[in-house]
Every structure is written in structure tokens, then in C-alpha cells.
Amino acid sequence: MREHDYEPVKGLPGLLPRGEAVLWQGAPDWLRLARGAFLGDWVAIYFGALMAWRLADNLAQGAGFNAAFAHMLWLGLVAATALAVIGVLAFVTARTTIYTITSRRVVLRIGAALTVTVNVPFKRIAGAALRRVSGEAGDVVLSVGGADRFSYLMLWPHARPWRMGRPEPMLRALPDAAQAAAVLAQALQAYQAEFGMDLSEAATAPGAAPVKKPGLARPSGGAVAAE
């Protein structure tokens, strides 16, 4: 039996209620996840600068290039090990993650060692935003209102960085983030129109580009704990 074979519907903890349909499913790109959420780019820059400084320092002290390079080489091995660990963590995280948008909610199936399913019903979404990284790739940030809050540690790395006081779930490192945002926007509009909600109050996450197709409106606030 493979992991998650128990799921009656891929990425979901149970069968869909009548009238609810899966509109989109996706997962993070492991390389983008490694470079962004796991700070792979910053780790590479740090070790690159440290290696350059060590090489220049040894040359300034009169060591030959070969000796200086050999003295620097162990830092390269440490850097390679650190980046390999980051890559493995990102790969495992991406493989065990499924983001789902249905006609009623957003679902995040996350966790490698311990699987957690986070349900965010549309009626609890206070705002959403598309944060582009390059081309169609990027993140979709969800803002949830109300008194209940998600745990940042439970969500990470599927949470907006540095929002620990009021964590915001995030569909992260998506290669097709623009498509996911468009599907979410259309689903929210259809849901809000069906239940007679006001579509005039658009809300987006601060500092991110808003989803404008066809616009994410602001229904009532609140949050639902993970199952």
C-alpha cells in the first residue's frame, strides 16, 4: 500500500459532499520551494561569499593559489552538503503536498512525517492574492478572518513568511500559480453570487499583486482548524 492510498479522493480527507466538485489540484515545484521557502538561494550566496573571502584571505597571506584553493575546498563540501539537505527536504515536501480548489473550499494536504489536512471554506476567506515569481509561477496567499487562527508551525512552509501573529495559508511555489489564482477567483465569484454575498469589497494580501480575474471579494471572516 502506497502512502495516501487511503484517501477516497486524492488530496482530500473524505468524499466530496453532494454539489461540491474539484476544480483544480496542484503541488509545489520542489526546486522553487528549495530556493524560496527553504532559503536555498541565500545559503548558496552565503557560502559563496565565505569561500571567496577565504580564498582571498589565503592569497593575501602569501599562500599559493593551489594551497589557498585546497584550504577553501572544505567549505565547498559543507556548502554542497547543506544544499543537498535543503534539496531533499524540498523534494519530500513537494511530493507529499497537494493543494486542491473545489467549488466550496481550498484544501491543503501537507506534511511528510505527519500528514495534516487544512480546510479553508470560501466563507472564511477574507482575501486572496497572487504573488508572481516569474511568468506563470508564484504563490497564492489566502487571508482568513475571524478569531480562530492557524498555527504557523503547522502550516510552514505553506504559510506566508513572517506573518506569525495571524498566519496566512499559502499555495506555495506553484509552476501554474496564475491558473490556480484564476480558478480560485472564478470559484469565489460563483460561490458568492450563489449565496448572495457582496462582491464589491475586494481584499488582497498586503504587499502582493491582487488576483483580478474576476476579483476576489470579501465574505465573512473566521478560520477552520485542520482536521
Q: What pLDDT shows up at residue 101? A: 97
CA distances to 61, 68, 82, 175, 187 from 55, rounded to whole Å, are: 10, 6, 20, 38, 56
In this model, does residue 129 exceed pLDDT 50?
Answer: yes
For cell 524560496, name the residue: 36
Q: What pLDDT shows up at residue 223? A: 34
Q: Model confidence at 2, in pLDDT bands (50, 70, 90)?
A: very low
Q: What is the pLDDT of residues 132-176, one digit of tens each?
A: 888 889 999 998 876 678 889 899 999 999 888 889 999 999 999
Alpha-carbon span 41 to 219, nearest angstrom: 38
Q: What pLDDT shows up at residue 61? A: 87
pTM of the model: 0.80
Q: What pLDDT shows up at residue 100? A: 97
Residues in the chain: 227
Q: What is the pLDDT of residues 49-72, one digit of tens each?
A: 999 998 898 888 888 888 888 888
Give the containing element (helix H, strand E) for 24.
Answer: strand 22-26
Q: What pLDDT shows up at residue 59? A: 87
